[in-house]
Amino acid sequence: MDVARSLSAGPGGGCDMRVALCAATYRRPEGLGRLLNALAVLELPGGVELEPLAVIVDNSAAAEAQAQVAAAAQSFRWPLHYVSEPRRGITFARNAALEKATALDCDFVAFIDDDEVPAPRWLSALLTVQHQSGATAVLGAVEPVFPAETPEWLIAGRFFETHAFADGAEIDDAHTANVLIDLRRLAALGLRFDHRYALTGGEDTMLFRDLRDAGGRIVYAADAVVYETVPPSRTRLGWLLRRWYRTGNVEAALYLRGRRRGAWRRPANLLRGLLRVAVGGSLFLAYLLVLGFGRKERIVRPLYTLCRGCGILSSTFGWNYSEYREVHGA
């Protein structure tokens, strides 16, 4: 049963709630600048006494973002905290953000990426849905913003869009590109990001799966929108195929860590991977024969299933793709 707290008005019509707006950054000064500018103009919800603050975790070994954050802090709307985490990997950076927010006695953390900018009502929408639901985590929407030279087939295929749900709907998983988390509830459950996924990604999927298994609830805030800047290096078929392969790696790891563990799970994973490769490959050939190259987005879509199958197979044997060794965008 979820016993997460919710924002609730006190006797004076409000309450003191401290929320840390957290982002990890790695060699993206332009993206970080856009993010800080957008955070500074967020709208706050009415009816509560809210104390926001920002935490930027620099994951570069040379503390490359320190001067930029220090300069922004001079005139920032709220307290702006800089944390250096030289150990390379997204799990180290996000755990450092959780530790800093805990040290600052925060009630909630809101995670956003350094290649995103929030809509003005982003934080307000997250908090409103949390207040209404009392959920442990609230996931928001991520909308891609493409560069001018993006191929039409890639936009038409909607490959960068995330699943959308009704406002307040309870959902099964979440990610850290746009999420509000009850920090005290997370600490009570003893949950942190797993360093085995520091460079492969999938650490957020693992954490929210564990949160759900422990009785936590995740709900969706349809109006909590962030806009993700898609760099040109990600608007290519090769990047999509690698991303889908990596999601297969994560799916396999989740399956192997299932509640009912046993020796049978590894051969079962092999069968799942082989099935996806067979189905995806067959559909790809069929679409290619029927459509030729006239509808590239339709032809590419079965490759999602095929690549995830390959990712499942490779992860079953311990071979994983470290997606976050490479930086995309500035």
> Is the pLDDT score of 296 beyond 80?
yes
The mean of the pLDDT values for the chain is 89
> Is the pLDDT score of 308 beyond 80?
yes
Between 156 and 202, the more confident residue is 156
DSSP string computed for 56-79: EEE-STT-TTHHHHHHHHTT-SS-
User: What is the per-residue burial (b if ≥16 Cβ within 10 Å, else e) of 44-69?
Assistant: ebeebebbbbbbbbbbbeeebbeebb
What is d(CA 216, CA 218) in angstroms, rounded to the nearest whole number?
A: 7
Give 207-266 pLDDT, tens digit per residue.
999 999 999 999 999 999 999 999 999 999 999 999 999 889 888 887 777 555 667 788
Q: Which CATH class is domain 16-234?
A: alpha beta
Percent of the residues in the chain that have a pLDDT greater than 90, as a whole number: 74
Return the number of other C-beta atoms located less than 10 Å from residue 102's C-beta: 15
| Distance from the Cα of residue 24 to its chain's centroid | 11
Q: Report pLDDT for 197.
A: 84
Residues 6+ apart with CB under 8 A from 306: 276, 277, 279, 280, 281, 284
Q: Report pLDDT for 288.
A: 87
> Is the pLDDT score of 2 beyond 60?
no
> Among 21, 211, 17, which residue's Cα sits nearest to residue 107?
17
pLDDT band at 14 (very low <50, low <70, confident <90, very high): very low
Query: Domain ranges in the chain?
Result: 16-234, 237-325
Question: Which of 15-29, 250-264, 300-314 comes out lowest in average pLDDT?
Answer: 250-264
Place of tokens 């994560």: 250
Q: Report pLDDT for 319.
A: 78
pLDDT (average), residues 170-187: 96
Q: Report pLDDT for 282.
A: 95
Cβ–Cβ < 8 Å for 116, 177: yes
Q: What is the DSSP letter of 197?
A: G
* Residue 5 CB-density burial (10 A; 0-12 exposed, 13-18 middle, 19+ buried): middle
Cβ–Cβ < 8 Å for 22, 110: yes
What is d(CA 232, CA 173) in angstroms, rounded to the nearest whole number?
A: 29
**What count of Cα atoms within 13 Å lies in the side-chain half-sphere of residue 158?**
5
Q: Report pLDDT for 232.
A: 94
* Six-digit token string for 306: 């095929």
Q: pTM for the whole thing?
A: 0.88
Give 35-84 pLDDT, tens digit per residue.
999 999 999 987 778 999 999 999 999 999 999 999 999 999 999 999 99
Q: Report pLDDT for 202.
A: 81
> Is the pLDDT score of 271 beyond 60?
yes
pLDDT (average), residues 307-320: 88
Cβ–Cβ < 8 Å for 170, 217: yes
Q: E strands within 153-270? A: 170-171, 178-182, 218-229
